[in-house]
Amino acid sequence: MKFFADTAEIDEIAELNALGMVDGVTTNPSLIMKSGRDIIEVTREIAAMIDGPVSAEVVATDADTMLTEGRKLAAIAPNIAIKVPLTWDGLKACKRLTGEGHMVNVTLCFSANQALLAAKAGATFISPFIGRLDDINIDGMELIADIRTIYDNYGLETQILAASIRSANHMKEAALIGADVATAPPSVIRKMADHVLTDKGLEGFLKDWEKTGQTIS
């Protein structure tokens, strides 16, 4: 499973990239706002750092303006994936943009029917929002499983990009189900390394080592 960093913070992306822990980046208007950066400037900087896809989101709600914004975002760098919302206008824009050779990430997906429509429209990525479904007491992972089954049934090539990930457990479950990609905040990716028994074991080793009076140098 590929890891995308869900952030517009350059330092966090750079740290993960240096460790080989990031295969792409996703941004959205909220993350751009949080970064305090100009969208074109920060997207260009991220795209230059990362070899994989960098999702940049349109803010228009009608298809024609989505196309205008999407083309402007795509012009930033060859590895830009244009994010459009899963609305009827978003699907129209997706079809046109993919027809022009651009990567398109269809976002805000909350049902298998929506995911099927996005694949038919030629989406490169479909972004089902796990955490937001969990918030309303619907199992977000069931949606990932449903989409995986439908796509596999018909050989659909759209990649499942598990989004709105809130925990390391979400990452594990997405990988077990077979999501192609999971996008998560850098803090969640780092959290995957944590385990209480690792901490306990290291503490024991260090105490025993101290008793030997030795050094490694």
Which residues are annotated as catalytic? 83
- Determine the Cα–Cα distance for residues 120 and 192; give it in Å rounded to an integer: 34
Name, in order, each residue with C-beta under 8 angstroms of 101's C-beta and a sequence gap of 6 or more: none
Neighbour-count burial for 119-141, b at 16+ CB within 10 Å, e otherwise: bebbbbbbbbbbeebbeeeeebb
- Determine the Cα–Cα distance for residues 139 and 97; give it in Å rounded to an integer: 32
Torsion of Cα atoms, 113 then 118 then 124 then 128, to 10°:
-40
Nearest to 161 by CA among 61, 28, 8: 28
* CA distances, 6 to each of 2, 13, 68, 166 (Å): 13, 9, 24, 11
The two tokens of residue 197 are 């028994």
Q: Is 191 exposed, middle or buried (0-12, 13-18, 19+ CB in 10 A)?
A: middle
- Determine the Cα–Cα distance for residues 167 and 145; give it in Å rounded to an integer: 18
Name, in order, each residue with C-beta under 8 angstroms of 76's C-beta and a sequence gap of 6 or more: 40, 43, 44, 47, 56
